[in-house]
Amino acid sequence: DQLILSKMVKICCIGAGYVGGPTMAVIALKCPNIQVAVVDISTARINAWNSDTLPIYEPGLDEVVKKCRGKNLSFSTDVEKHVAESDIVFVSVNTPTKTQGLGAGKAADLTYWESAARMIADVAKSNKIVVEKSTVPVKTAEAIEKILTHNSKGINFSILSNPEFLAEGTAISDLLNPDRVLIGGRETPEGKKAIEALRDVYAHWVPVDRILCTNLWSAELSKLAANAFLAQRISSVNAMSALCEATGADVSQVAHAVGKDTRIGPKFLNASVGFGGSCFQKDILNLVYICECNGLPEVATYWKQVIKVNDYQKTRFVNRIVSSMFNTVSGKKIAVLGFAFKKDTGDTRETPAIDVCKGLIGDKAKLSIYDPQVNQDQIQRDLSMKKFDWDHPVHLQPMSPTSVKDVSVVWDAYTATKDAHGICILTEWDEFKNLDYQKIFNDMQKPAFVFDGRNVVDAEKLRKIGFIVYSIGKPLDD
């Protein structure tokens, strides 16, 4: 119990990714008395964290890192040294969906977690608090405890679940001003002391009434539940958008009216081409798997439908583009504006743009893609990657190299749209609202189409210029 309060606390985080990097940078910023080391097996990532070009784009991150790096924040590949020296070890490694074996297509792949846990047990020479920062299946702490205690050499480990709720694109402000911080631990005296120790860290800047302490399983499950609820709202409004298009209702008006109900609230009700990102689909699939393993197939089916509606929304969008453009996009240039899964991030993991682009390439379109934060290598990699079909866990064929050749990646919206037959907006970057659409119209083939997958442009203004505009869930042009 004297562990934390009697000496300088040292923290280390295994995994210098989208979560580990920003989270630790903010802890370092707010806790100048704490030494924070972020470690990773990827030399490229650590080198980037130590350079002027950080490995991830996140508003405000550069400033925080520059302020703390070299003082109480360091980035290193010397994983074992920093783990051995730390009192609190966060583990924020990736936990992707398993692609083969038992639970393929649904269960979380805990390989990285297990090897991190074995390494911690191996190098630890003093008692440690091990914190689950990654999103993991409920009951993972039990497995981690077994691995640690069976491999420990007389050392005590306390496991905490402290899931991260930051959203990419707003990570720094989310971390500085979180809705809540959740800490789950064992209800033993040691468990309670460990919870206190982590609470002391967050209490440097988070009001104590926002620090929620629960049992381990509630904390683990709350993270999966929160992501499932958020994704479900998107699928609910997207399902309504299809009905709006069929009936002449306007999804923005419907969402506004529905969201005015204080029991529902207005946030996360924007209709779109679908959700993406590395978490929502993965975490819901994980939830589905856990339900199935616990003999709850009806509950599993309920959550599965959230992903099915998301897949349907992407397919519906591609079909709308092709059918509007006289049933073929073969040989036609289509400008794709935005590739990241949301604005203010360069992250393309599970972005709906991948499925939409592949759908258009499948119909032999020629794509010209522009995203302010995603480079050509990343886009080519994403489009040539095998797609894992979670519903039928077999790998589909990768796209042939020739079809990826029909994709060019450019560095501004005007080059992308020049001579194009259609524009397809897939990320809600602010700059897409204020482009010179008259100039773009003049330089395009006619009729010139806009398919707004994020409802960011002023459709009426564009129609006045002469565009044929499709907005998700809105009354269609005649």
Among candidate residues 281, 273, 172, the one with its CA nearest the CA of residue 230: 281
Among candidate residues 410, 471, 417, 470, the one with its CA nearest the CA of residue 441: 417
**298 carries a ligand binding annotation:** no
Per-residue burial over 230-258, b = 16 or more CB atoms within 10 Å of its CB, e = otherwise: bbbbbbbbbbbbbebbeeebbbbebbeeb
Both structure tokens of 397: 């064929």
Q: Which lies closer to ligand NAD via its Cβ, residue 4 or residue 175?
A: 175
- Is residue 68 flagged as an active site residue? no
Which residues are registered as beta bridge partners of 337? 370, 425
**Least CB distance to ligand NAD at residue 114 (A):** 9
Q: Is 470 helix (H, G, I), strand (E, B) or coil?
A: strand
Q: Which lies closer to ligand NAD via its Cβ, residue 26 or residue 420?
A: 26
Q: Which lies closer to ligand NAD via its Cβ, residue 18 or residue 449?
A: 18
**7 carries a ligand binding annotation:** no
DSSP state of 270: -
**Least CB distance to ligand NAD at residue 264 (A):** 24
Q: Which lies closer to ligand NAD via its Cβ, residue 135 or residue 241?
A: 135
Which residues are registered as beta bridge partners of 336? 369, 424
**94 carries a ligand binding annotation:** yes
**Least CB distance to ligand NAD at residue 407 (A):** 25
**Least CB distance to ligand NAD at residue 40 (A):** 4
**17 carries a ligand binding annotation:** yes
**123 carries a ligand binding annotation:** no
**331 carries a ligand binding annotation:** no
Q: Which lies closer to ligand NAD via its Cβ, residue 93 or residue 365?
A: 93
**169 carries a ligand binding annotation:** no
Neighbours of 385 (CB within 10 A): 12
**Least CB distance to ligand NAD at residue 39 (A):** 6
**Maximal C-alpha separation, the chain:** 75
Q: Give DSSP secondary structure letters for 61-116.
A: HHHHHHHHBTTTEEEES-HHHHHHH-SEEEE-----B--SSTTTTTSB--HHHHHH
Q: Which lies closer to ligand NAD via its Cβ, residue 19 or residue 407?
A: 19
**Least CB distance to ligand NAD at residue 475 (A):** 35
**184 carries a ligand binding annotation:** no
Neighbours of 218 (CB within 10 A): 15
**199 carries a ligand binding annotation:** no
**Segment (H or E) for 182:** strand 181-185
Q: Which lies closer to ligand NAD via its Cβ, residue 16 or residue 462?
A: 16
From the list 12, 279, 357, 424, the catalytic residue is: 279
**Segment (H or E) for 195:** helix 189-202
Judge whether 390 and 285 are in contact, CB under 8 Å: yes
Judge whether 62 and 54 are in contact, CB under 8 Å: yes
Contact residues for ligand NAD (CB under 6 A)? 14-20, 39-42, 45, 79, 92-95, 112, 115-116, 134-135, 164, 166, 168, 278-279
Q: Which lies closer to ligand NAD via its Cβ, residue 92 or residue 427?
A: 92
**Least CB distance to ligand NAD at residue 319 (A):** 30
**111 carries a ligand binding annotation:** no
Residue nearest to ligand NAD (CB): 17
Q: Give DSSP secondary structure letters for 444-467.
A: S-SS-EEEETT--S-HHHHHHHT-
Summarize the chain as % helix, strand, coil (round to 5): 45, 15, 40
Cα 37 from Cα 223, distance rounded (Å): 25
**Least CB distance to ligand NAD at residue 116 (A):** 4
**Segment (H or E) for 322:** helix 297-324
Judge whether 203 and 211 are in contact, CB under 8 Å: yes
Binding site per annotation, positions for NAD(+)? 15-20, 40, 45, 93-97, 134-135, 168, 279-282, 349
Annotated binding site: 15-20, 40, 45, 93-97, 134-135, 168, 279-282, 349
Catalytic residues: 279
